[in-house]
Chains A and B, each alone.
Chain A
Amino acid sequence: MEAFFQHIINGVSLGSIYALIALGYTMVYGILQLINFAHSDVYMIGAFIGFYSAKLLGVSDSPSYGSFFSVLLIAMIGCGILGFTIERLAYRPLRNAPKLNALITAIGLSLLFEYSGQIVFGATPQLFPNILADSIIFSFGEVRITRFDATILLTSLCLMVILRYIIQSTKLGKAMRATSFNGQWASLMGIPVDRIISMTFVIGSSLAAAGGILVGIKYPKIEPLMGVMIGLKAFVAAVLGGIGNIAGAVLGALIMGIAEEFVVGYGASTYRDALAFGILIVILLFRPAGILGKFSVEKV
């Protein structure tokens, strides 16, 4: 029973990292109907920005909340700028091209980041700087909550609350919702659609950067290809919850995280990567638009 609760805690911790990345996928998809494959590499670059900024700030061996949050902030800002640049240079020229072209461009960008990452950062895994010390902050019998898990959970929770505030209660969020509902109508109503799309990329990318830093502190090995599998799973999580739907992305990510921890915990760890897709296929068979997605019948 104790193992059960421990797996749930680990699963929620992993799931909230997936959620941060899945949010970027789902927001971009909601607004552009584009699977932004390069998003997983923005996450990777976020981790590397954290790696280098910790070195530059000289905090790579002084674990404290101060160094954690400053590194987090720098990575989020850096990736925000990166996301803006990607959208401006690669996706905006393709705004009116067929969807598939944008998709292939996204794949091309993803490959570009991965391979130039291998040149710039080196292909061997690097040890993420020790910017936060781990300790057990709460234990109940065998069930332990570590500081890492608590930090991951609280940080992602805070970011999600901020995101929800932005989307539900600010002018920007209103414009984003309008654009995602119908871009053309939104622009007729005087919403600067291009700027809103840019902002979506900035927000999504900085969330991915936060994911990168959180993964960096918990699983401290970072390498240029670290985004591939986790990006894929985050995307699956977004689809699982109903892509384009923000609450769905978080729900899907939590399901994925918990399910994965259970599979690993109960002995079938080699199947962990297959499990994600297994769940996805089963759920899509029953709810073709994801758990919270709306299934719309095409009318003629």
Chain B
Amino acid sequence: MVDLKRSVLFPVMMLFVFAGLNYILPHTFNAYIQTLIVYSCINIILAVSLNLVNGFTGQFSIGHAGFMAAGAYLSAYLTMNHAHWAGSSDGLNFFFNTIAGGVIAGLAGYAVGLPSLRLKGDYLAIVTLGFGEIIRVVLLNIDAVGGARGMYGIPKTANFFWAFTWVFICIITIKRLIYSTHGRAFLSVREDEIAAESVGINTTRYKVQAFVISSFFAGVAGSIFAHYLSYLNPSTFSFMKSIDVVVMVVLGGMGSISGSILAAIIITILPEALRPLQEITKIDFRMVIYSLTLIVLMLAKPQGLFGKLELSDVWKRLSEKSLGKKNG
């Protein structure tokens, strides 16, 4: 028997909440904070999806920006040049295009996942990096999407509703996946590939699956980015963007979804929060402080903010502690 309350009611309720927020937020915050919120959402999707590969499956991918670029460009191209999906509204059209962007990114992920059958560790990392760069350079050379000039005038169809909805879909999918049989298989690949293989787990298949799902969501994030900023340029999706996402995952804790979410928000907001400092000193110290924070955090808290724990675990642990104190 399907748990009706959990599997239908909760998502529908969340959709209503998002629709409400979509109505309220533009009237509450100024455009600057609104942009920050949407960027946080994009980064959350990127970080949580990369966590599936880097944190849960134990592979090391540093090419996430490439998949994001693939999704962003395809969805933007469809929105600008393609007829509407049979009579759908702008919002739904965006939804379908986003899925199309996700699928092309997923296909690219499949192409990267295949060599990962043979490569391990740093070699795999450098191949993903290479694929990311190749996608960027190819986009730079396609004139239909603007080449180095970038792509202008993409309709701004992404709003809070879609951003929140996709964050929700991404988190729920990955969380459910991790706690399923498949998820255990991902974890077993991370813990010990040889042992996993010897108990009959098709490690290759799971690694490729992780790559495909992860890049699908990267493509989705790219699509939201494209339809929010309404301008795309290949240089946005450089190696640095991939590194940013890796930093979020490691900072939050490899294998912790809550950690990734928190770290994504911190990393989006930190450079902006340091902006007043720049105005006082007239020198742009923000990125210097950002990188110093990164180094200090790695030296002081090597497990990341959450380690492998989730927010619920931390909460449980805290409440147990306080209960224990009360009882004796």
Contact = CB atoms under 8 A, between A and B. Distances in A.
B85 interface: no
Nearest to B194: A300
A270 interface: yes
Contacts of A270: 137, 140-141
B118 to A, nearest CB: 5
Interface in B266-310: 283-285, 287-288, 290-292, 294-295, 298-299, 302
B294 A271 contact: no
Interface stretch (A71-79, A166-174, A282-290): A282-290
A103 B150 CA distance: 32
Q: How large is the interface on B (under 10, 10 to 19, 20 to 34, 35 or more residues)?
A: 35 or more
21 contacts: A33-B122, A35-B122, A90-B295, A90-B299, A93-B299, A101-B302, A104-B298, A105-B298, A107-B294, A112-B292, A115-B284, A115-B291, A119-B284, A119-B285, A239-B123, A243-B123, A277-B134, A280-B130, A281-B131, A288-B119, A300-B194
A199 interface: no
A255 B285 CA distance: 40
A186 interface: no
Contacts of A43: none
A228 interface: yes
A-B pairs, 3 with minimum CB distance: A277-B130, A274-B137, A111-B291
Tell me the dominant secondary structure on chain B's binding face: helix
B133 A115 contact: no
Contacts of A277: 129-131, 133-134
Interface residues of A, number: 44
Interface in A17-38: 29, 33, 35
B298 A101 contact: yes
Q: Which of A35, A111, A232, A273 has the most CB of B within 10 A?
A: A111
Contact of A273 (B137, B290, B292): B137
B50 interface: no
A97 interface: yes
A118 B140 CA distance: 26
Interface of A: 29, 33, 35, 90, 93-94, 97-98, 100-101, 104-105, 107-109, 111-112, 114-116, 118-119, 228, 232, 235-236, 239, 243, 270-271, 273-274, 276-278, 280-281, 284-285, 288-290, 298, 300
A112 B288 contact: yes
A280 B133 contact: no
Nearest to B295: A108
A39 to B, nearest CB: 14
Contacts of A243: 122-123
Contacts of B292: 108, 112
Nearest to B284: A119
A150 B117 CA distance: 43
A284 B302 contact: no
A94 B298 contact: yes
A232 B238 CA distance: 12
B134 A278 contact: yes
Contacts of A29: 122
Contact of B239 (A35, A112, A232): A232
Interface in B139-159: 140-141
A111 B133 contact: no
B129 to A, nearest CB: 8
B294 A104 contact: yes
B194 A284 contact: no
B247 interface: yes
Contact of B288 (A115, A239, A288): A115
Contacts of B141: 270-271
A243 B125 CA distance: 13
Contacts of B254: 100
Given A280-B127, A284-B115, A111 B299 contact: no
Contacts of A100: 60, 250, 254
B229 interface: no
B13 interface: no
A243 B129 CA distance: 16
A33 B122 CA distance: 9
Contacts of A109: 291, 295
A154 B283 CA distance: 42
